[in-house]
C-alpha cells in the first residue's frame, strides 16, 4: 500500500479478501474515498473506510463521513412501505388510489401498491411537472396524478428512475401523515442506530463528501441523450451536474437522494438477511421479508439499457451488472454514483459499499463489483 492511501477500520481475517479488494481500488482503480461493510450472522465482520473526500487528497474520509448513495434509497423507501404493509396500514394488492384518490386519473385506477414497488406501474414519466419540481414535492406529485402510464399497469417493467420515490413517499404521507424522511428517522434510523437519512440536517450536511463526477458514468450518459426515455424522465430535474447541490441534501428525495455510509446500509440489509430482525430489534416479520424478496421481472430495461432482475423494491442478483454473491436469490440495490448493497438470507449475510467517485463502465462498475465479489463469492462479471 502506498503511504498516501489511508485505510482504517476492522476486518475479520475470514474476509481478508474484502480488504485486499478495497485496497486495490485505491492502488489501481482510481478510488478517491469510500467505505465498505459486511455483516455475517448478525455480526459486523468488515467495517473499512479510507481515502479522501476531495480530489486533491487533503481532507480525509473519516469513520463518520457520509455521501449520496443515489438509488440505494429506492430500496430504503420500499422498506418503509413494506413496514406499513406488514402493519396492515397499506394493502399490498390494493389500488394506490385507495390511499391517494387524486391518483385515479389518466388510466391509473388499476395501479396497485405492488405495481409501484416492482416498477411495473408504468408511471415512469412526469411530463406535466414544471422545471425544478424535484425540489417541490406537491408540484411533482400533482404532475404524477395526471400522468398516463407508459403501459398497462402490471403488464411490463422498467426502472422507475425518478418517480418511484415520490409514489412511495406519497403513500407513506397519505397513510401516516409523515413525510418519508420523517418516517425513516423515527422508524428505522432510531431503532437500528444507522447513519443514513433521506433529507439532512445542518450538522449532517457538514459531514457529507461531494460526489465527484466521472465522464465514464454510463447512467448519466444515457440521461444526457435527449432521445432516450431516461432523459424524458429527468426533464423536471435541475440542469447540469446536480449531485452536490445543497437542495438535494436538504430536501427529501427518496428516489436517489439518501445520504449515508456503508456501515449504515449494511446494517439495514443485515436486518433483512435476518428475516426482519437484528440485535433484538424487529422491523419486519419474516413473512414480510419473504414477500419483499420475490423476483417479479427479468429483462432488458428500456431506461437503463441493461438487464435488470427486479423484485418488490429490490434488484436481484445479476452477475454481469450487479454481482451479489453466489446465491441467485440475493437481493439489494445499486446507485448510479457507485453505491451498492445487498443481502443473502440463506447465508444471513449483508454487504454495502459507497464511494465518492461515480462508477464507470457497465453495471455497478469495477470498484463496487470487486469488493462485492470478494465478500460474497460467486461469478465475477466478464469485464472485471
Spatial distance between the Cα atoms of 80 and 219, rounded to a whole number of angstroms: 26
- The yes or no reply on domain 7-74+193-376 and CATH 1.10.760.10 is no
Match 475479520 to its residue by C-alpha cell.
12
Compute the Cα dihedral for 355, 167, 171, 246 and give only its sign.
positive
Q: Which three cell numbers stand for residue 270?
A: 443485515
pTM exceeding 0.95 = yes
Long-range contacts of 204-208 (CB under 8 A, 24+ apart): 204/66, 204/259, 205/246, 205/249, 205/250, 207/64, 207/65, 207/66, 208/65, 208/66, 208/67, 208/68, 208/249, 208/259
Hey, is 85 helix, strand or coil?
A: helix
Cβ neighbours of 206 (radius 10 Å): 9
Q: Which of 174, 154, 171 has the alpha carbon at shortest distance from 163?
A: 171
Determine the Cα–Cα distance for residues 29 and 26; give it in Å rounded to an integer: 6
- Give me the pLDDT at residue 304, please: 87
**Tens digits of pLDDT across the chain (384 residues):** 445 788 999 999 999 999 999 999 999 999 999 999 999 999 999 999 999 999 999 999 999 999 999 999 999 999 999 999 999 999 999 999 999 999 999 999 999 999 999 999 999 999 999 988 999 999 999 999 999 999 999 999 999 999 999 999 999 999 999 999 999 999 999 999 999 999 999 999 999 999 999 988 877 788 778 889 999 999 999 988 999 999 999 999 999 999 999 999 999 999 999 999 999 999 999 999 999 999 999 999 989 888 999 999 999 999 999 999 999 999 999 999 999 999 999 999 999 999 999 999 778 999 999 999 999 999 999 988
Q: How far apart are CA 293 and CA 290, in angstroms?
A: 5
**Secondary structure (DSSP) of 317-376:** -BTTTB---S-TT-EEEE-TTS-EEEEETTTTEEEEEEESB---SSTT-HHHHHHHHHHH
pLDDT of the residue at 3: 53
Residue whose entry in the numeric block shows the C-alpha cell 432482475: 309
Q: Alpha-carbon Rg of the chain, whole angstroms?
A: 19
C-alpha cell at 213: 463526477
Q: Where are the domains of the chain?
A: 7-74+193-376, 83-188
Are 45 and 15 in contact by the 8 Å Cβ rule? The answer is yes
Amino acid at each position: 500500500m502506498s503511504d498516501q492511501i489511508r485505510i482504517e477500520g476492522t476486518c475479520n481475517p475470514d474476509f481478508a479478501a474484502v480488504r485486499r479488494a478495497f485496497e486495490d481500488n485505491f492502488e489501481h482503480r482510481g478510488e478517491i474515498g469510500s467505505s465498505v461493510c459486511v455483516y455475517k450472522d448478525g455480526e459486523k465482520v468488515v467495517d473499512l473506510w479510507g481515502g479522501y473526500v476531495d480530489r486533491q487528497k487533503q481532507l480525509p474520509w473519516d469513520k463518520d463521513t457520509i455521501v449520496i448513495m443515489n438509488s440505494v434509497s429506492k430500496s430504503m423507501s420500499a422498506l418503509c412501505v413494506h413496514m406499513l404493509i406488514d402493519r396492515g396500514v397499506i394493502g399490498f394488492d390494493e389500488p394506490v388510489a385507495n390511499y391517494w384518490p387524486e391518483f385515479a386519473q389518466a388510466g391509473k385506477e388499476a395501479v396497485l401498491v405492488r405495481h409501484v414497488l416492482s416498477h411495473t406501474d408504468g408511471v415512469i414519466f412526469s411530463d406535466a411537472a414544471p422545471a425544478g419540481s424535484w425540489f417541490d414535492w406537491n408540484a411533482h406529485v400533482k404532475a404524477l396524478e395526471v400522468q398516463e402510464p407508459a403501459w398497462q399497469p402490471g403488464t411490463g417493467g422498467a426502472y422507475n428512475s425518478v418517480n418511484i420515490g415520490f409514489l412511495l413517499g406519497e403513500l407513506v404521507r397519505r397513510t401516516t401523515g409523515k413525510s418519508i424522511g420523517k418516517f425513516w428517522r423515527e422508524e428505522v434510523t432510531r431503532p437500528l442506530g444507522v447513519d443514513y437519512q433521506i433529507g439532512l440536517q445542518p450538522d449532517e450536511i457538514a459531514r457529507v463528501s461531494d460526489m465527484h463526477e466521472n465522464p465514464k458514468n454510463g447512467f448519466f450518459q444515457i440521461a444526457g441523450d435527449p432521445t432516450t426515455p431516461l432523459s424524458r424522465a429527468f426533464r423536471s430535474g435541475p440542469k447540469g451536474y446536480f449531485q452536490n447541490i445543497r437542495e438535494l441534501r436538504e430536501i427529501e428525495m427518496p428516489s436517489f437522494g439518501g445520504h449515508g455510509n456503508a456501515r449504515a446500509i449494511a446494517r439495514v440489509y443485515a436486518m433483512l438477511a435476518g428475516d426482519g430482525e437484528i440485535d433484538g430489534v424487529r422491523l419486519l416479520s419474516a413473512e414480510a421479508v419473504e414477500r419483499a424478496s420475490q423476483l417479479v421481472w427479468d429483462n432488458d430495461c428500456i431506461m437503463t439499457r441493461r438487464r435488470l432482475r427486479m423484485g418488490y423494491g429490490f434488484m436481484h442478483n445479476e452477475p454481469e451488472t450487479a454481482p451479489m454473491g453466489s446465491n441467485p436469490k440475493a437481493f439489494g440495490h445499486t446507485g448510479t454514483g457507485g453505491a451498492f448493497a445487498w443481502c443473502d438470507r440463506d447465508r444471513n449475510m449483508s454487504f454495502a459499499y459507497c464511494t465518492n467517485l461515480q462508477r464507470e463502465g457497465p453495471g455497478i462498475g469495477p470498484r463496487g463489483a470487486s469488493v462485492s465479489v470478494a465478500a460474497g463469492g460467486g461469478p465475477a462479471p466478464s469485464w472485471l
